[in-house]
Amino acid sequence: MLLCFCCILMARAETGYELWLRYHAIENKPLLNAYRADIAHLYIAGSSATMKIVQDELITGLSGLLQITISQKTTIAHNGTVVAGTPAGAAIIAQAGLDNDLKKAGGEGFVIVSKITAGKRCIIITANTETGVLYGCFHFLRLLQTGQPIHALHIISAPSVSLRMLNHWDNLNRTVERGYAGLSLWNWHTLPGYIDKRYIDYARANASIGINATVLTNVNANAVILSPAYLEKVKALANVFRPYGIKVFLAARFSAPIEMGGLKTADPLDEEVKNWWKEKAKEIYKYVPDFGGFLVKANSEGQPGPQDYHRTHADGANMLADAVAPFRGIIIWRAFVYSNDNPEDRHKQAYNDFVPLDGKFNSNVMVQVKNGAIDFMPREPFHPLFGAMPKTPIMMEFQVTQEYLGQATNLVFLAPLFREVLQSDTYYNGKGSTVASIINGSADNHALTGIAGVANIGNDINWCGHPFAQANWYALGRLAWDNELSSEQIAGEWLRMTFTNNLQFLKTALPMMLESRDIMVQYSNPIGLHHIMNTGHHYGPAPWVDNLKRPEWNPVYYHKADSTGIGFNRTATGSNALAQYFPEARKQWEGMNNCDEKFLLWFHHVPWRYTMKSGRNLWEELCYQYYTGAARVKKMQANWKELAPYTDRQRFEQVNMLLQIQYDEAVWWRNACLLYFREFSKMPIPSQYEQPDKTLEYYKSLRFPYAPGN
Amino acid sequence: MLLCFCCILMARAETGYELWLRYHAIENKPLLNAYRADIAHLYIAGSSATMKIVQDELITGLSGLLQITISQKTTIAHNGTVVAGTPAGAAIIAQAGLDNDLKKAGGEGFVIVSKITAGKRCIIITANTETGVLYGCFHFLRLLQTGQPIHALHIISAPSVSLRMLNHWDNLNRTVERGYAGLSLWNWHTLPGYIDKRYIDYARANASIGINATVLTNVNANAVILSPAYLEKVKALANVFRPYGIKVFLAARFSAPIEMGGLKTADPLDEEVKNWWKEKAKEIYKYVPDFGGFLVKANSEGQPGPQDYHRTHADGANMLADAVAPFRGIIIWRAFVYSNDNPEDRHKQAYNDFVPLDGKFNSNVMVQVKNGAIDFMPREPFHPLFGAMPKTPIMMEFQVTQEYLGQATNLVFLAPLFREVLQSDTYYNGKGSTVASIINGSADNHALTGIAGVANIGNDINWCGHPFAQANWYALGRLAWDNELSSEQIAGEWLRMTFTNNLQFLKTALPMMLESRDIMVQYSNPIGLHHIMNTGHHYGPAPWVDNLKRPEWNPVYYHKADSTGIGFNRTATGSNALAQYFPEARKQWEGMNNCDEKFLLWFHHVPWRYTMKSGRNLWEELCYQYYTGAARVKKMQANWKELAPYTDRQRFEQVNMLLQIQYDEAVWWRNACLLYFREFSKMPIPSQYEQPDKTLEYYKSLRFPYAPGN
């Protein structure tokens, strides 16, 4: 009787703070008994900070999941012993005959095997490094959390890319650019003296999905982070993260030598400037001996950069690369650039700027490319830079925070977006030259490889605002670890760990997640529309905006609706951005008639009465897509309501309320966009649809001066 | 065996989210058995939203504390029944012979009695209103939480003042002025669709300590809150708070008729302006039928107000009062004013402005006065306005957020400060005319009475930043309910509920809390020093600042250190601020030799070699106080470390780290202030003290551009 009370209270109110590491008791009794037969004792080889974390995690996880007291042993004397450690940490592991497996696992991978050891049935979790053991331990717990069989394990797992990174766009005043989950986690004011438990839990959550690097500060950078007082704070965070295998990077402000060093220039070829950065790097490494390096946004959206001095991006990157090279640091240089005065289609500018620089970057420089050429749109063709700079290690930049995908109020699972990009074929080296193969180094044998995600993490109790937004953090980590994982696999894992293994629940929740991004595209940016959101905060639709001072900031620049049609002609008769793709890739898009309709208006200006594959004309199709998208959100609402029996009340209600907001926003997108585009198509919204109950003027009048993330 | 796991996990990690409502199992077995003998069944009269809350709270509380399943009954058929409801809700309560008790309890008070009812031993929790029952239910649970006997209860409790209010200085972009616990709780962007569970938990926590009113928005006001879109959001919050007995107020921007209404003036005597506010009030009451009214900061620190039109504060307040009067709303008009161009001692300005207006305010206007005449200093004599406006209901404004008292990093329990003010004797009507008697209406028979506290609540998981800062929220509520409660009583309750009833723990923790404010005064503003903090963010010491454009913003204005001495002469030979006090009150301070040394430099410019009661000269005494204050923080650290066995690890570590920061800050205050004042005293810091290891220039060079709350 008594034991139930805590459990009841916990079941009634799950805040989401625990993420996917809840370790609730396994409810399936036969499975539980099977696990208990295989897991009763623990043998931990080593006592370093990392191995202490392995030990704590296994004890917490196993005692929670199996509801047993795990007995810790110093020898292997019982069947059902879980052994964790490196070969260097224990002779019994070194002698377990796992050399070949460990070779395949590499520096960060791990091996999990069921094996008779010292005459006893054991499960060995091992790796060449302690960080690898930690990853293996989380993977092992994940098997239990998701109800997988463990009686004959033989798992070898190695990461697809070497840098699996979060980019925090966090400002020093704790606001987060494009953050929708509260303030920055980093409470700079109370650092270094106060170590918020969240720092530890953040590191733990990242380690559980293989994330091994974090850029603490916004790419729209502030030089103050490089001051001694702040480096003390950075050091404190790095010390927390280190045993979890996480390296700290910082965003560098290119003009720091002026702002902080008192120099007159930040010219990357100036000796004083070079020297300032060298001294600064030396100083940083005194605080953080394993500092990862700098992430740099230069000459983009007002940020200073080498072009201010008529130098190239390579000049700028290499100057910084020289400064961190003695300490094995790297420079990650962003390719997200477009210029004030460049009349060229923004789609083409990064390619034009960077392709000529291929081969000119130092060996410790990576170029970080957003998944698409515009800016993290709900659906965007892959960036033409993938495959176009074979001599340069290219790092992927995904956006986990949902700037353009419903921010904190929409349920949108991003793994299908990430997958769509990674699996896209660039045809760089013939068919099958996927973006993934370029990113993970297999195409060009680059040793520096990486995937970064712009973080969606803040100080909201549940970390990410929307309960389902946690899944996007999870997906980034899992896909960075294994580029081949399917969206189904990732969503399934996450749902089981975060909610329940109940099959009735999964039957409904899993397809809901998997379709959610497609639904969002449909009610906001169908048929290849893009960048038609509101100005500044990017919340909601505003396709009518045409008065911003830079042309490429205006939605009308992108949709180009007029009396003849809608869409951006990027073929040879237009901006010819398509020419930046390899011919085979280009081919799938360049003909209006055979272009994948998902990207039709991305690449073509299409007549309003153009006949779509559905038989509807373009205007009718636009209406169909917007109405279908909104209707599918209504269906999501109904589906979710059926899941009440399977989830705790708090998160059920949260998602329930948020889906209602999402439906209202979908209707807003639908009505505002169709009323606006109708002015050009001159055709009515077909009468079978519920007509908008507000006017275009009403939608134009809406203002959100305090929308978050701006 | 099994039941222990959740409990262990919970014991290991308490976030503080639960505040003082944790309801952990009672550990004292004899006491637990005694409680169980008296409490086994529940009879709830009524099913309104409020009574549903009463029911949930009693079930949650009793099942957690007593670890039993409370059986709910529809009749009283068993001994050990807890009965909750109003006389109107159940005949059995109406007939229980409690009429006299209920009369004493009044509208919001409650009665808790042990009584044979329907032949059974019952505990009746009743009141004239359901909100009163809710307060009674929390009080009853508090008795159990703090281990009080309950076998023969006869409690009648009624609040000292009718408005027990929080003032949130929360901006619409969710920053909080003088907030040190994260963002504003109010996520305006997702309101009204998304009801964060924290809104409910906030209301519940407030109800548990009798707080019945909240001003949602900053007194440095934004007219946008009065727009329909935002009133929808306010309505959603008001709907959450209503069943908890909490009324919503808003800060009114005096110039809203211009900014929002498009009028050319906000002159309170202008008919269009009057009408605009009348219509606006009518509109607000459509959204929130029990809207409390407006809080107004006018003609203070740049805020617009009636003086912009050569009208008085009374003109402004009465105009607004007329607008809300039809709906029984009230206006709370702040007396915190000091003027740009007034050369008079800032100490005197509010009194000078407001005393002539006594009797000129409408009957639904209250004047809200800060506890002291300067600004929430660590120690400040009571405001001379208390007792000086007998015809006007005066509301107390305390600051719960620790703007000047160590912000989020110092453990400073404020009940002693609140008590010191409330118990101060104004001599308004002879000896014993305490500030409390003026505030609670007993001195002048005012019906409108109230105490407000500037909230220290944000979206940090533990609500208030510092784990002990929760105690200040608690203290505000408890003292507003009962002006006579001692600091010991409040601290004891809070510690028992928030940490443990363990006597060893209390023996150390209770005195630590009770002394903490005195210690803070000692290491930062001893002997009556005040307003010598850093500019803007107010973090840390900066007594040297003398270059701000308004004289009364500069620390040098307040300490007036020079070669002859230090302190502000507010006697007849100086600014004569003392003349604003009643003669008997004035007398305790006006002679340098008999002035309470706690306020010596507040009222006197004292020679450096003046002999203090200790026998030390003033300079030596200043050194003694600063060094003693810092040393006492070190003692707090040592004391806290002894308490590890009695508290969960997470909060133990939090407080441990924060006490180290507090010690570092105490040393900073001590060294910076003494090094600076030494320049005037021309005497050394006595050699028995550890000498500062940094220079005055170092302390002057410190900058905190991103300190919170600014």
ipTM score assigned to the predicted complex? 0.96
| Residue B607: both structure tokens together | 């020679």
Query: By CA distance, what is B408's nearest residue in A?
Result: A190
CB contact under 8 A, B69 and A409: no
CB contact under 8 A, A408 and B704: no
Contacts of A218 in chain B (CB under 8 A): none
Secondary structure letter of residue B671 according to DSSP: H
pLDDT > 60? residue B390: yes
Position A206 scores a pLDDT of 98
3-class DSSP state of B517:
helix
Mean pLDDT of B99-126: 97
| Residue A387: both structure tokens together | 């495959």
CB contact under 8 A, B15 and A17: yes
Among B428, B505, B430, B512, residue whose Cα is nearest residue B468: B512
pLDDT > 60? residue A3: no
Query: By CA distance, what is A180's nearest residue in B?
Result: B189
A window 592-651, beta carbon within 8 A of B: 650
User: CB of A654 within 8 Å of any CB in chain B?
Assistant: yes
What's the mean pLDDT when you consider all of chain A? 96
pLDDT > 50? residue A614: yes
User: CB of A504 within 8 Å of any CB in chain B?
Assistant: no
3-class DSSP state of B535:
coil
pLDDT > 50? residue A243: yes
User: CB of A5 within 8 Å of any CB in chain B?
Assistant: yes
Residues whose CB falls within 8 Å of the CB of residue A481, separated by 6 or more in sequence, listed in order: A157, A159, A160, A164, A209, A210
3-class DSSP state of A460:
coil
Q: Which of B188, B664, B708 sits opposite A189 (nearest CB)?
A: B708
What's this model's pTM, rounded to 2 decimal places? 0.97
How many whole angstroms separate alpha carbon B679 and alpha carbon A114?
A: 75
Helix (H) or strand (E) holding A115: strand A110-117
Position B6 scores a pLDDT of 39
CB contact under 8 A, B189 and A69: no
Q: How far is B461 from chain A (nearest CA, A)?
A: 6
Instruction: For residue B355, count other CB atoms closer than 10 A to its CB.
Output: 15
Residues whose CB falls within 8 Å of the CB of residue A363, separated by 6 or more in sequence, listed in order: none
In chain A, the percentage of residues whose pLDDT exceeds 70 is 98
| Residue B331: both structure tokens together | 């206006």
What confidence tens digit (pLDDT) does each residue in B627-650 have? 999 999 999 999 999 999 999 999
Q: Which of B17, B194, B704 sits opposite A657 (nearest CB)?
A: B194
Q: How far is B184 from chain A (nearest CA, A)?
A: 9
pLDDT > 80? residue A1: no
Helix (H) or strand (E) holding B508: helix B503-524
What confidence tens digit (pLDDT) does each residue in A436-473 have? 999 999 999 999 999 999 999 999 999 999 999 999 99
CB contact under 8 A, B704 and A189: yes
B703, A230 contact by CB (below 8 A)? no
pLDDT > 50? residue A257: yes
| Residue A14: both structure tokens together | 């799950």
* Triad A139, A141, A147: Cα angle to 5°: 105
Position A5 scores a pLDDT of 39
3-class DSSP state of A493:
helix
Q: How far is A211 from chain B (nearest CA, A)?
A: 25
3-state secondary structure B384-436: CCCCCCCCCCEEEEEECCCCCCCCCCCCCCCHHHHHHHHCCECCECECCCEHH
Contacts of B60 in chain A (CB under 8 A): 9
A500, A646 contact by CB (below 8 A)? yes
User: CB of B708 within 8 Å of any CB in chain A?
Assistant: yes
* CA A545 and chain centroid, separation: 29
Instruction: Fill in the amino acid letter for A526.
Output: P
Instruction: Fill in the amino acid letter for A517.
Output: R
| Helix, strand, coil percent content, chain B, rounded in steps of 5 | 45, 10, 45
How many whole angstroms separate alpha carbon B555 and alpha carbon A698?
A: 52
User: Per DSSP, which regions of A467-591 are E strands?
Assistant: 565-566
Q: CB-based burial of residue A97 (10 Å sphere; 0-12 exposed, 13-18 middle, 19+ buried)?
A: exposed
Query: By CA distance, what is A182's nearest residue in B?
Result: B183
Contacts of A650 in chain B (CB under 8 A): 197
A414, A466 contact by CB (below 8 A)? no
| Residue A103: both structure tokens together | 């070779």
User: Per DSSP, which regions of B91-199 are E strands?
Assistant: 110-117, 120-126, 154-157, 163-167
Q: How far is A707 from chain B (nearest CA, A)?
A: 6
User: CB of B172 within 8 Å of any CB in chain A?
Assistant: yes
Position B2 scores a pLDDT of 38
Q: How many H helices and E strands in chain B?
A: 23, 16
How many whole angstroms separate alpha carbon B136 and alpha carbon B87?
A: 14
3-class DSSP state of B25:
coil
3-class DSSP state of B514:
helix
Position B428 scores a pLDDT of 96
CB contact under 8 A, A67 and B2: yes
Q: Which of B193, B660, B705 sits opposite A664 (nearest CB)?
A: B193
What crossing angle do the helices spanning A130-145 and A487-498 adopt, rounded to 10°? 80
B272 is catalytic: no
B112, B84 contact by CB (below 8 A)? no
Position B12 scores a pLDDT of 52
B380 is catalytic: no
pLDDT > 70? residue A186: yes
User: CB of B71 within 8 Å of any CB in chain A?
Assistant: no
Q: Are strands A110-117 and B41-44 parallel, antiparallel or unpaired?
A: unpaired
B108 is catalytic: no
Q: Which of A69, A194, A653 sits opposite B658 (nearest CB)?
A: A194
The string of DSSP codes covering A661-677 is: HHHHHHHHHHHHHHHHH
Residues whose CB falls within 8 Å of the CB of residue A310, separated by 6 or more in sequence, listed in order: none
Query: By CA distance, what is B658's nearest residue in A?
Result: A194
Question: Could you check whether the bond before residue A192 is cis, i.e. omega within 30 degrees of 0?
Answer: yes
What confidence tens digit (pLDDT) does each residue in B320-375 have? 999 999 999 999 999 999 877 788 999 999 999 999 999 999 999 999 999 999 99
What confidence tens digit (pLDDT) does each residue in B7-16 have? 444 345 799 9
What's the mean pLDDT when you consider all of chain B? 96
A237, A186 contact by CB (below 8 A)? yes
Residue for token pair 């340069």: A392
Contacts of A662 in chain B (CB under 8 A): none
| Residue A529: both structure tokens together | 């529309």
Contacts of B2 in chain A (CB under 8 A): 3, 67
Contacts of A408 in chain B (CB under 8 A): 189-190
User: CB of A514 within 8 Å of any CB in chain B?
Assistant: no
Band of residue A9 on the pLDDT scale cut at 50, 70, 90: very low
CA distance to A511, A563, B166, B369, per residue, from B477 (Å): 49, 65, 9, 18
Q: Which residues of A619-628 are buried (b: 16+ CB within 10 A; e: fewer)?
A: bbbbbbbbbe
User: CB of B698 within 8 Å of any CB in chain A?
Assistant: no
Residue for token pair 């706690």: B598
How many whole angstroms separate alpha carbon A178 and alpha carbon A497?
A: 27
Contacts of A705 in chain B (CB under 8 A): 172, 224
Contacts of B7 in chain A (CB under 8 A): 6
Position B339 scores a pLDDT of 78
Contacts of B459 in chain A (CB under 8 A): 182-183, 459-460
What confidence tens digit (pLDDT) does each residue in A531-571 have? 999 999 999 999 999 999 889 999 999 999 999 999 999 99
Position A11 scores a pLDDT of 46
CA distance to B91, B99, B110, B203, B245, per residue, from B95 (Å): 6, 9, 16, 32, 26
Q: Which residues of B300-333 are buried (b: 16+ CB within 10 A; e: fewer)?
A: beebbbbbbbebbbbbbbbbbbbbbbebebbbbb
Rounded to 5 degrees, φ, ψ at B274 are: -55, -45
Residue for token pair 């040098």: B556
Cβ–Cβ pairs < 8 A, chains A and B: 109
pLDDT > 80? residue A4: no
Among B466, B408, B455, residue whose Cα is nearest residue B186: B455
CA distance to A44, A85, A127, A674, B695, per residue, from A50 (Å): 11, 10, 13, 56, 41
Instruction: Fill in the amino acid letter for A404.
Output: Y
Rounded to 5 degrees, φ, ψ at A394 are: -105, 130
Instruction: For residue B334, count other CB atoms closer than 10 A to its CB.
Output: 26
How many whole angstroms separate alpha carbon B167 and alpha carbon B451?
A: 10
| Residue B379: both structure tokens together | 């120690």
Q: How far is A710 from chain B (nearest CA, A)?
A: 10
User: CB of B173 within 8 Å of any CB in chain A?
Assistant: yes
pLDDT > 70? residue A607: yes
* CA A450 and chain centroid, separation: 12
Query: By CA distance, what is A705's nearest residue in B?
Result: B173
What confidence tens digit (pLDDT) does each residue in B276-303 have? 999 999 999 999 999 999 999 999 999 9
Instruction: Fill in the amino acid letter for A192.
Output: P
User: CB of A461 within 8 Å of any CB in chain B?
Assistant: yes
A380, A374 contact by CB (below 8 A)? yes
CA distance to A338, A494, A496, A511, A647, per residue, from A503 (Å): 48, 14, 9, 12, 13
- Catalytic residue (choose from A403, A493, A518, A590): A403
3-class DSSP state of A327:
helix
| Residue A22: both structure tokens together | 């809840």
B window 403-422, beta carbon within 8 A of A: 408-409
pLDDT > 50? residue A38: yes
How many whole angstroms separate alpha carbon A354 and alpha carbon A389?
A: 8
Position A539 scores a pLDDT of 98
* Triad A534, A538, A541: Cα angle to 5°: 40
- Catalytic residue (choose from B38, B403, B552, B665): B403
How many whole angstroms separate alpha carbon A581 and alpha carbon A348?
A: 10
Question: Could you check whether the bond before residue B192 is cis, i.e. omega within 30 degrees of 0?
Answer: yes
CB contact under 8 A, B654 and A63: no
pLDDT > 60? residue B451: yes
Band of residue A12 on the pLDDT scale cut at 50, 70, 90: low
